[in-house]
Structure 1
Amino acid sequence: GTFRWHICFNFVVLRMISFGCDYCWTLSSSHFDHKKHMQKCEVCYSGKTCYFALQEKGLSVDKYTFLTYLCYLTYAPLYIAGPVVSYNAFAAQLDVPQKNYSVGQICCYGLRWILNFLLIEVMTHFFHYNAFVVSRLWRQLTPFEIFIISYGVLIFMWLKFFLIWRYFRFWSLVGGVETPENMPRCINNCPDLESFWKSWHASFNKWLVRYVYIPLGGSRRKLLSIWVVFTFVAAWHDLEWKLISWAWLTCLCFVPEIVIKSFSNNFQRQKVPLGGSFIVNYVQLLVL
């Protein structure tokens, strides 16, 4: 059947905002210090293409054409589900395709996707977490059993989105455009909320940081910015009260974590005695 355009329009909106912001920031006096970035970035130091550098360096004004804009909005491998890529990074790779992945590495990437697809097939045949949820049999189980089923459903959701996003990223790599990796780590390897949201739909997280979080003040206004960011995320998914309430509940859980981390960092800085950093650096120099 015909694919409905409004299903993918959420991602198209992100690309529209990206193009507009990148174009306006190119016209402004903002300047990205690429040399300073290369001194700290391991990717740039290794000679590979750095996505952050492509995104922040900006392009000449003549690269912001209507034809390239349409190409960016409707780029086939990323049109349905992403991953989300900024306009600067996309347009820069049209002239110079990505060189971080060789043909062999891209083939291995595709082979790993096939193995993960077989894994989810095994899960759906032998672990019936979703069947319990759909049939509502979980209402007859104990709280511990409900917890186990909920955990299994969460693992299944992670693997499902993992497969979807890596499938489209694979075809984007075949076309010469590298995008941020979604789901770079398993949810079992996320000890706090911050690391979880950085890993779950990671390309969208990078987009939010660049186009929403930093313009709102970044870490200087973190306690206020997260409310705007998560409200935007909820409205972006769909304009429903249950999603808005989910976003605000997430922020309520996020605030104590931010306060505790800030207190812990300040305490560690105050705990280091005068000249402590000099001693640490001196010892490191002797070891090296």
Structure 2
Amino acid sequence: MKTDGGNLIAWKRWELPLLVLYAAVFYAVIIRRSLQLSRDYALNLYGLRPGWIAHRLNDLSDAQWRNFRGNLPILTIVFGIFAFVAKSTRVLFRLKAQGMSNVWLLISLAYLLYLHGACTVFVLSIASLNFLLVKIFVKTKYFSLMLWTFSIFFLICNRVYEGYSFSLFGQHWIFLDNFRGVFRWQICFNFVILRMVSFGFDYYWACQGSGFDHKKHAEYCRICKSGKTCYQILQEKSVPSDKYSFGIYLCYLIYAPLYISGPIMSFNAFASQLEMPQKNYALKDIVLYGVRWILSLLLMELMTHFFYYNAFAISGLWKQLSAMDVFIIGYGVLNFMWLKFLLIWRYFRLWSLIYGVEAPENMPKCINNCYNLESFWKSWHASYNKWLVRYMYIPLGGSQRKILNIWVIFTFVALWHDLEWKLLSWAWLTCLFYVPELVLKSVANAFKVENTIGELYFREVSATAGAVTITCLMVANLVGFVIGPSGISWLIARFLHKEGWPVLVGMFLTFYVGTKLMFHIQDAKRKGQ
């Protein structure tokens, strides 16, 4: 057995340099070709603006990134003022949960009035009605039906009626349509709906009595063992009944740092940190977190100045390119999206940490370090995944109905993002690819490796399955966020053409190598623990 184990270790050590060499060549080819494509097609691409790097245009074709980047200076000044006011009032008046909720409520209301103007009344009205219904129905058997019906109704109506016109309430109110603020309220309200559901169920479960075993959790939780408090404890532990007040509820819904784009956190986790600010991040940790964010921003600036991936996608020029170039653009767009969301989410999370509230980290892993659908989803919008597990997946039956649950959950996720067919296509394609993965995982769990040959065989099969999964992930995300469902047939035709077959084989081999490298990263982490 020792000899077998030694042979396996020797094999891993022998293959690792080859895998790294392949990866280095792959990225050298990708970078070289990306630079060439960006240079050759720069005059035909939409959304390129003069950049701050000499002789380079900047790809600002993505509206979300362009708006966030353009508003960074004013956002930083505003949140800096908020931090000074909140910290000063907490220290001067020795405020606890209720007092701090009032401070943050006033700060956040001022923020809301700037963002949404007169439309703030829509946010407050729907939120107030939800609070009233939760209090009325919390001890009835119709509570879950009421809360989900109410939430989905407004989720759909807000988009269908595009945030409503004040003329619906009479012609004498129509002048308020001229004061709708600088940001569409119905976009931000998708996050408010998640918080309304969280408050409702956290309050409902508090009334029922929590069955969470804190002692058992503390025995195996690495974070809790270190003396810190993990997010699951904050989420599962019900706060005192007086914390489920209208003031703290409203503060939670519109809490300024997390209002626009999250990360998403449960009501229990938020309310408990109003009383006792987070202690998991010391000042030096927050400073380091901020420095890492600045370095990530610099990486994004270099990427958008030299690689015009998103401009290719929105300009439609990728349809004129070879199969190899289409792969490069598609791969680049997904990496751009990952870095964009990382910067947005971590910026707002940074300010929340400064204020004393720790939200879950989105994007805990690099997009290029996920080889199955489950880990990809958990490592993308991680805080949303925690919300879905707590408020949808477990109540729907959890792992006992997993194959059925994923269709319900991903359909909701698509509708929550927007009412578009391409998002529903993304959701259903993801589920279609997810089902075989679940089946294979259940088979793999029953498979017992008894010797080195068996372990090597299992590792190779797993790497092959990982390559297939990464390919499926690329297709699903490109359909959902770039080419739409109408582009599926074109994509298939391009890669199944005789010129596309070598690219398809090379792509599969690359993902196989990437999966093997991820295995080595996992092995290194296990050794370090």
**Pairing 1:184–2:357 present:** no
Q: In the alignment, what sits opposite 2:280?
A: 100
Q: CA RMSD in A?
A: 1.4
**Pairing 1:73–2:284 present:** no
Distance 1:251 1:143 in 2: 26
Amino acid at match of 1:174: I
TM-score, normalised on structure 1?
0.91
Distance 1:131 1:3 in 2: 24
Q: In the alignment, what sits opposite 1:84?
A: 264
Distance 2:306 2:408 in 1: 41
Aligned match of 1:11 in 184, 188, 191? 191
Greater displacement, 47-56 / 238-247: 238-247
Aligned match of 1:44 in 224, 245, 254? 224
Distance 2:367 2:260 in 1: 24
Q: How far does the alpha carbon of each residue in 1:26-45 deviate from its partner, in whole angstroms, 9 at most, with x for none?
A: 00033211111100101101
- In the TM superposition, residue 112 of structure 1 has moved relative to its aligned partner by 1.1
Aligned match of 2:306 in 82, 103, 126? 126
SS in 2 for 1:268: coil
For these two proteins, the number of residue pairs brought into alignment is 271
Q: Specify whether residues 65 and 82 from structure 1 end up closer, same or farther in structure 2 by C-alpha distance, changes over 3 A only.
A: same
Distance 2:409 2:182 in 1: 33
SS in 2 for 1:8: helix
Amino acid at match of 1:146: V
SS in 1 for 2:447: helix
Distance 2:183 2:377 in 1: 30
Distance 2:215 2:406 in 1: 31
Amino acid at match of 1:23: Y
Q: How far does the alpha carbon of each residue in 1:129-168 deviate from its partner, in whole angstroms, 9 at most, with x for none?
A: 1222232221221111100110001000000000000000
Distance 1:47 1:228 in 2: 38
Distance 1:123 1:242 in 2: 27
Distance 1:39 1:249 in 2: 39
**Pairing 1:199–2:379 present:** yes
- Contact in 2 for aligned 1:31/1:57 (Cα 8 Å): no
**Pairing 1:117–2:267 present:** no
- In the TM superposition, residue 58 of structure 1 has moved relative to its aligned partner by 1.3
Distance 2:182 2:426 in 1: 32
Q: In the alignment, what sits opposite 1:167?
A: 347
SS in 1 for 2:357: coil
Q: How far does the alpha carbon of each residue in 1:225-277 deviate from its partner, in whole angstroms, 9 at most, with x for none?
A: 101110110111112232222211110100000000011112339x79xxxxx
Aligned match of 1:59 in 230, 239, 249? 239
Amino acid at match of 2:414: A
Amino acid at match of 1:20: G
Q: In the alignment, what sits opposite 1:248?
A: 428
Distance 1:135 1:225 in 2: 37
Q: How far does the alpha carbon of each residue in 1:175-227 deviate from its partner, in whole angstroms, 9 at most, with x for none?
A: 10001100000111001111000011100001000000010111111111101
Distance 1:136 1:74 in 2: 38
Amino acid at match of 1:47: G
Distance 2:261 2:217 in 1: 31
Distance 1:239 1:158 in 2: 22
Kindly report structure 1 stretches of 4+ aligned residues shifted beyond 6 Å.
none
Q: In the alignment, what sits opposite 1:215?
A: 395
Distance 1:256 1:142 in 2: 31
Q: In the alignment, what sits opposite 1:227?
A: 407
Distance 1:240 1:122 in 2: 32
Amino acid at match of 1:122: L
Q: In the alignment, what sits opposite 1:26?
A: 206
Amino acid at match of 2:279: K
- Contact in 2 for aligned 1:231/1:244 (Cα 8 Å): yes
Distance 1:228 1:34 in 2: 30
Q: In the alignment, what sits opposite 2:323?
A: 143
For structure 1, the 5+ residue unaligned runs are 273-288
Q: Specify whether residues 34 and 165 from structure 1 end up closer, same or farther in structure 2 by C-alpha distance, changes over 3 A only.
A: same
Q: In the alignment, what sits opposite 2:66?
A: none
Q: In the alignment, what sits opposite 2:470?
A: none
Q: In the alignment, what sits opposite 1:279?
A: none
- In the TM superposition, residue 124 of structure 1 has moved relative to its aligned partner by 0.5
- Contact in 2 for aligned 1:73/1:79 (Cα 8 Å): yes
Distance 1:183 1:141 in 2: 31
Distance 2:185 2:201 in 1: 24
Distance 1:106 1:90 in 2: 19
**Pairing 1:158–2:338 present:** yes
